[in-house]
Structure 1
């Protein structure tokens, strides 16, 4: 027997072989082997023999249960061109270009829009794309609702087999299991009493959409025994389809032992203009504001509450003011915010919202009063009051007296019709430019209406002619790539050509602008191609 074969049959344990390999055969020679160059070969032979021995000694185990076949997806398949486009979009990764993209479109930013279109047409996801879809949704939470809706039931089947995709089960109602409907009362009762919290929330939300009364009764049946944090989440589900029939339940929740639950119940009741709480808030709020006719011009005078009594606390008024806020102004704002806006016209002799907002306010109370009216208009979705508080987009400082910030203007705009909203933002841009328009553009419907699209393109052209770099407008450019109507690409072609730079322009600004417009144009044309590929034949 040679030294090599004797080392291989030496019976060394696997642990000893690993130790020898880690130390090196120069420091630890395997027993029965030669030294020098023969030792490593002997060690490998011994490892091979031990591997065969260990495998031969494994006892067979019972075969695992095969998973159930993936469920069928009955939706129509994607057109072939759209399938290829999806693969391209999913293959793109942030930073894949290693720097500037130049004129190339950002494909990952187009994926949300592609998914929205595919879901609108009701297509099924190609099976081979499901792993990449799940990976994309795992990395971007903003993609998850649309990606999981498009991926369908087969994605949930896959997610049960891969721990990396378990988020899909958590995001799906009931963990991907079919929820019982209103016609299955026994299943509804069992799941409500025995299900996990996420399943119960999903059940309540689903029932609320189809049978609000049953959902409310189900919640009331276990309400006293629920944990405070769970009661808050369940109460939030009542926002959908909120109606006068919910008032008795919400009135009862005003006496809840949790302050957050009481506050949420009060907020929901204040969104019902005919509720008893709204009436109580209207009486309190209107008692604090009056019209003074003794001045040259009718003027609003404010007498804020001097205390936060137990009744106010029960109706959701927070007694402790935040740091930097006066108590009386804090209480006044909460009362006005929760009062039905229709109460003010009755209080002020039938004046319209525009006439009320136009009245001067004495003693520096205007910001507090109008800010509270802004919050009330958003909560009550009152387009008339929102228009009055927004004012004309061309007015100085771009706002009505109540719109004290861009964030508030954006919230007010969200309550009015999409076409009117686009017209208002277009007027704002025409007067004030793009520097402050980013938040306002974000609430406009996609694709942007023609007047808004023209206003954005014209403002970008003006900014280019001013000679600055385009980086100051990168946010607006990014929005334009996703939101401009693709038909605007024709108007952008002249801007994509490099132009002569004015004398006062920043060095190289013209080239950077041309590159930005070329990227915008190519993105719009790509979006047009996406739409054509997804359109049913």
Structure 2
């Protein structure tokens, strides 16, 4: 017992109880020969605990202890003795606490238990979730980075977490927000039960996933109407979000009706989350409710409502935005047959525009009119522009020149609209990915794709119509707009030394004066195993993914709109053409495990970087992605890369040894991922404890 313990009033004891030492108060004894003499047991009357604590904190030199010292005893010892006596007195006086009702048992989780090997693996991953860091060998897999993938795979099988590992699993979710959805899904309804008992875990009560917040949210589970209404009115926030999401998947109209009942009484942050849940199954039936949310008190709710309505091409808001945008963006045809886009941005942001989600105040460094124009075009259905531009395709629309330097602003707004509206046709055009035409000659095997990794590639057009390959390279472009408007060349840097200059271009193919020529980068390996025209010919005349391209373009967001297979091919071509220096964000949007063409391109680029003599930590981000995203089946084929290679003449000292360790770690991680998949695929044992 320490000095900081809270004092407890001792139980009352008879003051006249007899004791061996005080049976006859008048009798003399060795212990009571002098009644006035101090006794170690009766010298000091009870002293308040607060007084003892204050004296101990200040020190006996500054404050005299509230107890008298016995002969020969110094003040500190007297204080400690009094504290000990007080502690014994308080312990002896403790009374049993009144019995409290037992807590309600945790809800049942009927999902299957983990297989034994997978259960041990989860315990290991949770124990080492802080990562090996510098404590382990450089060739050891990073277990902390494998935990998200393990959780995702386990949830894919529909397993539940063992009860004994729930505290560690919730702690992991608390420490890493990226783990929370998957970790709480695996933990299931018992995570919420535990979160009510521990203040440190209260985050789970508001952040619980739809799949594990309550039994009825499980796939295929259905709550009766009475239970659903009761849960919606009385449940925790996480349970209500889960209920709304589950009901939205099964019956969107019923979910909307449930939300309408309590909408006026919800808090602003809760209204925002509930409104955002309507993205799933969004349809014109939701428009009247979302239209009302445009007048909400919360700016965030109004903004989300406008975003949802703009994703409905037939909504009244989309029509209003289209009307405003058409007045600002028009097509002008000159007498000589030349065509250009003319921009007349809004001159004011009236109250109706603000109600429709247009933010009036521009960010620092942006002009107000340009800011308003971008928001209008972003919220306009993209189908509007095909009608506005005489039935042109997205690629041909992008090829039309824009007057007075408004091209970047207009194309940036179209890019955001393509992402918001999930329009793959516009995303392809903005990425300069060709569609249509005769693609029967394009090879589908891996040989042509693998050849890209060793080609010295010059940039393809950054946007506009696809370039037509010629024997001299892409020096000229075919008709891509009215009157044969040429495509605009790319402005991004090339990752390889430029090829010999092509023949002088004709006047129709002279690039605009503000186009930047491709420039090599220092980190690009100088491999010349093929030429750009040859590789493009091997690809059936398809232009390759351009480099960084215009400053307005965000390839990662646009790629997310495309199908997974198309994403992988585009990023593989990008890496083959421009290396890995700008590929990290692009790789992050590709489906896992990577498709074989993409995996081959990444491995080939890493091999080229090793041969160039650079250090592997220059590519640590891509190497980490490769460990988590490459197909584990490639481990045996990559074993050859773990061998020590010959040091390049101009390479960094010791680089080959570091590359060998990096590839050993890559191969080891791939094999561990294969083992994890096999462990999760095993059938759990009958009667296995949870």
In the alignment, which residue of structure 2 is the partner of 1:423? 569
1:242 aligned residue (254, 279, 282): 282
2:675 aligned residue (487, 512, 529): 529
Q: Does 1:108 align with 2:144?
A: yes
| 1:269 and 1:275 in contact (8 A); partners too | yes
TM-score, normalising length: structure 1: 0.87
| 1:391 and 1:399 in contact (8 A); partners too | yes
Q: Does 1:409 align with 2:555?
A: yes
Q: Does 1:337 align with 2:374?
A: no
In the alignment, which residue of structure 2 is the partner of 1:400? 463
In the alignment, which residue of structure 2 is the partner of 1:327? 368
In the alignment, which residue of structure 1 is the partner of 2:99? 63
1:451 aligned residue (594, 597, 603): 597
1:105 match: secondary structure:
coil
Q: Does 1:210 align with 2:356?
A: no
1:290 match: secondary structure:
strand
| 2:415 and 2:553 in contact (8 A); partners too | no
Q: Alpha-carbon deviation of 1:44?
A: 7.5
Bigger Cα Rg: 2
Q: Does 1:253 align with 2:286?
A: no
Deviations 1:398-417 (A, max 9, x none): 84369635972111111110
In the alignment, which residue of structure 2 is the partner of 1:162? 198
In the alignment, which residue of structure 2 is the partner of 1:220? 260
In the alignment, which residue of structure 1 is the partner of 2:503? none
Q: Point out the more displaced range, 105-114 or 325-334.
A: 325-334
Q: Alpha-carbon deviation of 1:78?
A: 1.5
Q: Does 1:267 align with 2:330?
A: no
Q: What is the CA RMSD across the aligned residues, in angstroms? A: 3.5
Cα distance change of structure 1 residues 83 and 395 upon mapping to structure 2, 3 Å threshold: same
| Equivalent-residue separation in structure 2 for 1:442 and 1:51 (angstroms) | 62
| 2:615 and 2:658 in contact (8 A); partners too | yes
Deviations 1:41-66 (A, max 9, x none): x9887766554432222122212323
1:534 match: secondary structure:
helix
| Equivalent-residue separation in structure 2 for 1:157 and 1:193 (angstroms) | 19
Q: Alpha-carbon deviation of 1:310?
A: 4.5
Q: Alpha-carbon deviation of 1:29?
A: 12
1:29-108 matches, within 5 Å, as 33=70, 35=72, 50-94=86-130, 96-98=132-134, 101-108=137-144
Q: Point out the more displaced range, 47-56 or 495-504.
A: 47-56
In the alignment, which residue of structure 2 is the partner of 1:276? 316
Q: Point out the more displaced range, 276-285 or 203-212.
A: 203-212
| 2:52 and 2:66 in contact (8 A); partners too | no
1:240-389 matches, within 5 Å, as 240-256=280-296, 258-287=298-327, 288-295=329-336, 297-389=338-430
1:182-193 matches, within 5 Å, as 184-186=224-226, 188-189=228-229
**Residue ranges of structure 2 left out of the alignment (5+ in a row):** 1-29, 33-37, 435-456, 465-489, 491-548, 684-690
Q: Alpha-carbon deviation of 1:250?
A: 2.6
| Equivalent-residue separation in structure 2 for 1:221 and 1:125 (angstroms) | 36
Q: Point out the more displaced range, 424-433 or 360-369.
A: 360-369
**Pairs aligned (count):** 534
2:114 match: secondary structure:
coil
Q: Alpha-carbon deviation of 1:443?
A: 0.6
| Equivalent-residue separation in structure 2 for 1:194 and 1:68 (angstroms) | 17
Q: Point out the more displaced range, 90-99 or 190-199.
A: 190-199
Cα distance change of structure 1 residues 426 and 283 upon mapping to structure 2, 3 Å threshold: same
Q: Point out the more displaced range, 188-197 or 82-91.
A: 188-197
In the alignment, which residue of structure 1 is the partner of 2:186? 150
In the alignment, which residue of structure 1 is the partner of 2:688? none
| Equivalent-residue separation in structure 2 for 1:525 and 1:304 (angstroms) | 57
Cα distance change of structure 1 residues 221 and 131 upon mapping to structure 2, 3 Å threshold: closer
Q: Does 1:461 align with 2:607?
A: yes
Cα distance change of structure 1 residues 118 and 137 upon mapping to structure 2, 3 Å threshold: same
Deviations 1:14-68 (A, max 9, x none): 747768877589x98985756489x96x988776655443222212221232333
| Equivalent-residue separation in structure 1 for 2:195 and 2:572 (angstroms) | 45
| 1:281 and 1:339 in contact (8 A); partners too | yes
Cα distance change of structure 1 residues 59 and 377 upon mapping to structure 2, 3 Å threshold: same
Deviations 1:191-245 (A, max 9, x none): 6566666665554444333332233234334545556555444432322221011
Q: Point out the more displaced range, 92-101 or 404-413.
A: 92-101
Deviations 1:364-413 (A, max 9, x none): 22111111111111111011110111014977388436963597211111
1:274 match: secondary structure:
coil
Q: Alpha-carbon deviation of 1:156?
A: 2.9
1:487-502 matches, within 5 Å, as 487-502=633-648
Q: Alpha-carbon deviation of 1:128?
A: 2.0
Cα distance change of structure 1 residues 330 and 206 upon mapping to structure 2, 3 Å threshold: same
Q: Point out the more displaced range, 482-491 or 289-298.
A: 289-298
In the alignment, which residue of structure 1 is the partner of 2:484? none
